Amino acid sequence: MALNPSITPSTKPSAFLSPIFTSKLLLMSFDKIKTSNTSKEKNKRELAWKVAPNLIMSFRYAWAGVSYAFTTQRNFRIHTAIASLAVSLGIFLHVTNTQMAIIVVTCAMVMVMELLNTALESVVDLTVKQTYHELAKIAKDCAAGAVLISAVAAVLVAAFILMPPLWAIVISEALKLV
């Protein structure tokens, strides 16, 4: 899509709006024109397009997403449990603050990837409904692959940080028994 060279930002700023933003504006306008059968359905639909009016509502929406993933996604619960175990083990082993920060950030990365995977799967399911589409499979598989790679990386990071002090404790306890 080429822009008209006679239009400059100072003469027509709306010409430089991104196509995505313009599409969203059109969809929002169309959504307001349509009417629904019940006010409850209308309220749900409008909330999907509505920007959070304040910071507290933004946090509530974000927490709703995390809560949804925790209650519906088995893998998110598994990642949460393993992250809790890694952080607890780091505290128990008295790792340095830098090492603890690396563990926390790595665990958070895995959980963020799982949230993005859940969001992508939901959008793909919404798009293809109950039908099979090869591109939908590719999108879901790639998102799951991203989670897998981040989880493997997190395990390696935790192993490099937690295994040496853990191994030292095991050896010292074994020597006490001898």
- Chain length of the chain: 178
Contacts of 66-73 spanning 24+ positions with Cβ under 8 A = 66/115, 68/118, 69/114, 69/115, 69/118, 72/118, 73/114, 73/118
User: What residues have CB less than 8 Å from 90, skipping those under 6 apart?
Assistant: 99, 100, 103, 161, 162
Q: How many CB atoms lie within 10 A of CB 114?
A: 25
- Least Cα distance to 136 among 127, 145, 144 occurs for 127
The rounded distance, in Å, linking the Cα atoms of 132 and 89 is 43
* Residue 123 neighbours by CB distance under 10 Å: 12
- The catalytic residues are 114
DSSP letter assigned to residue 167: H
